[in-house]
Structure 1
Amino acid sequence: YKYFILFGGDDVSGNRSKSWNKHNCYYYCAAGLPLSCLNQEYFVHFVSSSQHAGPLEQVAAITERLQTVKDTGLICYDALEAERGSGRAESLLLLDLFVGTGDGPWQSELSSHSGDGCPCRFCRMGGNVMTRSSNEGFLAIMQMGPPRTPGSTLELLRKDLDMATVSRKGTALEKVQQATGTVDALTQTVIDTLVEKGKAMFEETNTDGSKRYTAAQIHTLLSEERTRILSQGEFMNSLLRDDVFDPHQDTALGRLHLVLLGFTKYFWAASLPPSSRKLTITEKGQLDNAEAVLQSLSQAGLGDQSVRADYVMRYRGSLVGRHLHSIAQLGVFIFGRHVDMVLLEVWVTLGRLSAALFTETIKDMTTFIVSFLSICDIYHTDIQYRRL
């Protein structure tokens, strides 16, 4: 049997007090389990935790162990066959990674993605700040760019290593990484070492004041140093060489960070007066009106996600995901009277998008996908009109 693994991680505090003590942790569960089981602690298994080893360092050890099991298979007890009395109580499991979960920064590190000029870890959409700030550039980032692949990412990382062996290329290398949006946490340790050694060699002089090393000599010595370092261990994202798992396509989007702390929080701030300065009489009236409307709305359908109107308006700049989840659904009613029609259309579509994304059970996947893609297209159109 093929046994797919859903693995995820996050940085959590190791203290019970409010003092932050960062630990990088990994957990996994069987991807074939129903949603009701995935939410139960019994089915979630601890993998690793460290204060010092980052996500990619732990992934290197995890994939090494997983590869050993993939080569030999894992024999387990087959309760179903035993009940049938077929005489076969053992099964051979072949393990593979299925989906990696985590917040945005965590998954970007798993994808060897840094953002910068290419902010998407799935494709190479992007450009410099001036290009993206223009109307044409803004419309372009609403379209999917050439997809990222493990092979192309590995090739970019190898080029970065080659560039690091050239004297005085540190600044140019940073610009290349920013333009491609590709940085690997493990490879970067080697690159930083080579760049620093190259700087030191370039500054060394003989007793007569002449340079001790030529550019060609520095390149040769740094190339030898790179070979020596890479021979000691694997200094590159091991997920990029997995034969099944693609870190660019198989790292799931986080609804919390993308939709709630991203879209909803942005348009919430655009629809209300800022909390960082003293408000004018008109802005106070606008805020009071929004609070009154929210107070009058029935929140029976929100369950335990209901919000207090006075709290939400007072701390409107410091809301968390729980508050924004409710606001995404109520925003169209709150702002129906005091935002322009373009922004109101955004709230209408954002409410539909939020409802679709937070659906717990999808009964008809085909119908759901058609409806969801239609909502996404409308949302993109609304965003473009809002920009223009």
Structure 2
Amino acid sequence: MTSAAAAAATSSATKMFSTATDNCSHRIFLVTDLQVRRPWRSSAFLRTSRTICTHACTAASPRSSSSVINELANIFTAMATEASAKVIDGKSVAKEIREEIASEISRMKESIGVVPGLAVILVGDRKDSATYVRNKKKACESVGIKSYEVCLAEDSSEQEVLKYISGFNDDPSVNGILVQLPLPSHMNEQNVLTAVSIEKDVDGFNPLNIGCLAMRDREPLFVPCTPKGCIELLHRYGVPIKGKRAVVIGRSNIVGMPAALLLQREDATVSVVHSRTKNPEEITREADIVIAAVGQANMVRGSWIKPGSVVIDVGINPVEDAESKRGYRLAGDVCYEEASKIASAITPVPGGVGPMTIAMLLSNTLAAAKRANNFQ
């Protein structure tokens, strides 16, 4: 937190206690009436609790009000500057998962002589899409998955894309098929995604997979990679989900909606905030877990965050930055500088959810290969 913010905290605390008199009981009332929330587990919070107890126990020999004011103001300033969220390192977790996948693929190859195969179809020349495909190809190579790649021109027909999908559907060496989104505007995205065989739908976008995800007592063959990665991060960092209040910001078919379904499956009480939601700040502020997937840089401010909550930031937005060699930097949907002073844990951007998405794609491809070959 900035020195200005810390000074503001000091001023606020000083003002709060400026009306205190030398009467100890009055001072105690003012202190205990202050709503300091339990999730602040900093040493400053513990010192505040001990100070309150000390003042309550020494009523027989009260100290001057100015002494109480100064001490408490110092403590609340410390709380403002010391609180810092634990960083949820998606890059590190993704590396662990890739190592686990590589080990399983090696075991599979030694046992039955089969390695998984992933086919990627890229249409057009979008630089960001080409980068994603390149990264996925590298990730496949790093764990032993064989990759197949088809690159089509921007003006290719939808029928041509469907022809390649059909060919990969029939190819037993291909266990997963990924169509890189977005597609050119002249193509029907739903037609293309539905054409992918459900047994090879490693993106988890087939309506049957989404339908099974939404239903109790049904299991989808695959879960969409990004929301699956969000939940995996919560699991690996030991964040309890059952019985917690969760808010998902954004309701896209790719992230927001399946993330809400996954949280509900984990027995969280889930609210979805979207563009038509009234008072989104108030709703978000009630959440123990926040998943932000709205695609708007720094939309979620620190004032939206409940102290002690866990924040998963899916957003990855380019923001102009004259100091950067590229002329821009990447920012999440959450204002990290503000939220990291309030939340108990938070994902950075980059290095949070992004690496997990690719790790989950590899995991889904391995699962498809095991299923197709009855390998346990």
TM-score by length of 1: 0.25
Pick the structure with more helix per residue: 1
Higher relative contact order (CA 8 A, sep 6+): 2
TM-score, length basis structure 2: 0.26
